[in-house]
Amino acid sequence: MGVFSFDKNIEKVSDSVAMALDLLPLTHNSDINTCQHILDSGKLIPHECEIFGEKILYFFYGQPVYAKEDWSYPVFFFIKPQDESLNIKSIYPIDTGGLIYDYIKDKNLKGPKITVKDVKKFLECKINETEYHIVSRKLVSFFFGNNENYLSGKLVANEEDLVTLFAEKYMDLNTIESAFIDKNRSKSIEVHNSTELTLDKSNVEYVIFPEEKLKFFKPVSDTMFAKIDTYPTSIRELGISRIIEYAKDKFKDYLIKKNEIV
């Protein structure tokens, strides 16, 4: 851990405090067309990332927040975080693509362009295979207090508790209304997995499909996913952001029913 590493901000959070929070599922989103390939292979596969220059299988921690505007209909996968086939190598407190591709719209916060080197050196929370369960919850505990605040995007961290410049920038990006283009992505923990993940009912606990498209996937989806939910395809005309908000609400209701919102 470097002197200015983001990890420094969560050192004060004890393991016992972090472990008191329920461990949230990992989310992976895809377009309905890509979903055909995923279900045909039965796997989520790492792909070459043009930002980091390596193969990464991207997840967000407990948040279905990412979808491209040109996707026809997003599909949201929720993976059990305890799955032993996961090989998580690093965690970031924010959507790294948004930072590097300059989603910062407040000119007073821009400063020098943030590079991949900056992100890896000052934002990466490096972990071994046993630490993911603790580090993810420490980030939630320090910045949001609990899972409900995290899912609602309500920051509770105090400025005086921050110990690195990038933590201060993180808070500014998320508290100044005009700072970041997409607050969902700037307040979500990004998780990098390095290996492929075979999908079945033992690790895919929840999936959200576009309602009118689900029939095309029924022969596979019923045997592969533990629970399937849907969103009305009619809301696509309201934009991708509306679908994401709908999926977030659905997922939050699902967690409440499971008593995992603590």
Residues 50-80: tens digit of each pLDDT: 888 999 999 999 999 888 888 999 999 999 9
pLDDT band at 233 (very low <50, low <70, confident <90, very high): very high
Closest of 38, 22, 63, 61 to residue 247, by C-alpha: 63
Chain length of the chain: 262
Is-contact 65 248, C-beta < 8 A?
A: yes
Q: What is the mean pLDDT of residues 101-117?
A: 62
Does residue 25 carry a pLDDT above 70?
Answer: yes
Task: State the pTM of this model.
Answer: 0.89
Tokens of 37: 């390939």
pLDDT digits (tens, 9 = 90+) for 235-261: 999 988 899 999 999 999 999 887 766
Mean pLDDT for all residues in the chain:
85
Q: Which amino acid is at 113?
A: K
Does residue 131 carry a pLDDT above 90?
Answer: no
In the chain, pLDDT over 70 holds for what percent of residues? 87
pLDDT band at 204 (very low <50, low <70, confident <90, very high): very high
Closest of 188, 199, 202, 194 to residue 77, by C-alpha: 199
3-class DSSP state of 89: strand
Residue-level pLDDT at 232:
94
Tokens of 79: 């993976």
Which of the two residues, 222 and 39, has the higher pLDDT score? Answer: 39
Residue-level pLDDT at 2:
54
Residue-level pLDDT at 208:
95
Residue-level pLDDT at 172:
77
Other beta carbons within 10 angstroms of residue 169's beta carbon come to 20
Q: Which amino acid is at 87?
A: N
Give the C-alpha distances (Å, rounded to integers) separating 237 from 35, 61, 75, 106.
Answer: 20, 27, 16, 29
In the chain, pLDDT over 90 holds for what percent of residues? 43
CA distance 259 to 255: 6
